[in-house]
Structure formats: structure tokens, C-alpha cells
Amino acid sequence: MTTTHPDITQIKLLIADDHPLFRQGLKHTFSETNDITVAGEVENSDDLIAMVQQHPADEYNLILLDIAMPGKGALDVLKQLKLENPKLPILVLSVYSEDQYAVRFIKAGASGYLTKESDPDLLVETVRKVARGGKYASPRITEKLAFDFSNSDKPPHETLSDREYQVFGMIANGTSLTDIGKQLSLSVKTISTHRTRILEKMKMKKNAELIRYAINNNLS
């Protein structure tokens, strides 16, 4: 059963996004409400973790999380935040389509997933719902979450682990193994091992096939 928090009269947001203009736009949107306040903002994953750890548990009612910030990978950040603060709702607001990441982030503990192209009214209503203990997913994602497909029924990219999927996405976007290693703070050898497993699971032989697959499935 979903735990609701009807006693929350003022929703205090922490915005985590590395684009100042987008953060400014969000603040303008929420300034037109009488129950949502932007109580803090950060522009990278490390600052987000530090901010949550250094402030009282009731400082924020909700985190609005971008998944493409500098620093630690967003899935790892989400899992760490939920481990340390299991009752703190996290709503993902991303430039990436639902098909790319929504299911993974919701399964990892996010209370909802919206794209940055979403209507401002939907964003405001979703923030209110999530802050009070609710969940949000589009009908399309809700349907995906409702079915427990066997591995044989899954498209190849859904058989990848979270880390493998992260590396796959970066390879599909043309990032070199060296740069992937730097961004994820992992050795090139480790990234190369992930690449090998990705190719094996997806029954492919080279990066070009991964790139073509990502394009054909709207994953890049």
C-alpha cells in the first residue's frame, strides 16, 4: 500500500540539474504555485549526495533529479540516496525518453519519471502527488512495469545490468572507452569487460552494431 503524506502543506524541492537556465525555468514554474518552494539546487551528483547528507531529513520533501549530470552515475546516485533516505521521494526529470530509462529508474526506487518536454501543469501535479507519497508513470511505462517478462521475451538491451546499460548508452552515443572510464571513475579494463559482456548478451560483434541498434530502437 502506498504511504501518503496529506499533512504536507508546503512542498520543499531540491533541484539537481546541471543546466542553470533549466533550473531557472523550473523555479519560475513553481513560483506560480502557493504550495511548492525550491529550497535548494545543485548541479552535479557529488553535491547532491553531500547536500542530502548534510541537511536534516525534513529539509526537503522531494528531489527533482536529472540523470545526465556530471559526477557519479544517476542510477548509482538514486540507489545510494534511497538506501540512506528510503522515505525521501525522488522524481526523475530527464531529457531522455521513457523508453530509454524510465523502467530502470522506477525499479531502482524513483517515485516517477517525466521527460523535460512534459507539460508544466503535469510536472506540478506530479510533484504534488509524489511529495505526498504517490507514484507516477505514464500508461505506457505502467504497462511495462505490470508484466514480468522472462529473459527470452525481453528485447536485447533489457537483458543488460544497470551498469552495462549505462555503458551501452555511452558507447551508442560515440563515447570512447577511455572517456567512459573517466566519467564513471572506472578503469579502461573494467569498461572493456563491460563492453565484451554487452556484445555477448546482445549477440553483436562491434560497436557499430550497438550504435545502429540504439538508433533503430530510439535509445540514443
Answer yes or no: do 134 and 170 share one domain: no
CATH of the domain at 114: 3.40.50.2300
Distance between CA atoms of residues 99 and 67, nearest Å: 14
> Is residue 38's pLDDT more than 70?
yes
19 & 89 share domain:
yes
CATH number at residue 181: 1.10.10.10
126 falls in which pLDDT band (50, 70, 90)? very high
Label residue 133 by pLDDT band (50, 70, 90).
very high
> Please, what sign has the CA dihedral across residues 60, 65, 69, 70?
positive
* Strongest mean pLDDT among 74-78, 116-120, 149-153: 116-120
Identify the pLDDT of residue 4: 42
Model confidence over 50-97: pLDDT tens digits? 999 998 878 899 999 998 888 888 888 999 999 999 999 999 999 888
Q: For residue 117, tell me if it sits in a domain.
A: yes
* Radius of gyration of the chain from its Cα atoms, rounded to whole angstroms: 18
pLDDT of residue 130: 95
Could you tell me the residue range of the domain that residue 194 belongs to? 151-216
Q: What is the average pLDDT across 175-185?
A: 89
Q: What band does 21 get if pLDDT is binned at 50, 70 and 90?
A: very high
- Among residues 111, 129, 146, the one where a domain terminates is 146
Q: Is residue 103 located within the same domain as residue 169? A: no
**Would residue 5 count as lying in a domain?**
no
- Among residues 146, 173, 205, the one where a domain terminates is 146
Q: Is the pLDDT of residue 34 over 70?
A: yes
Beta strand pairing call for 112-115 and 62-65: unpaired
- At which residue does the C-alpha cell 523502467 appear? 103
pLDDT at 2: 36
The reply to whether 115 and 156 lie within a common domain is no
Residue 6 lies in a domain: no
Q: Are 96 and 5 in contact (CB under 8 A)?
A: no
Q: How many domains is the chain partitioned into structurally?
A: 2
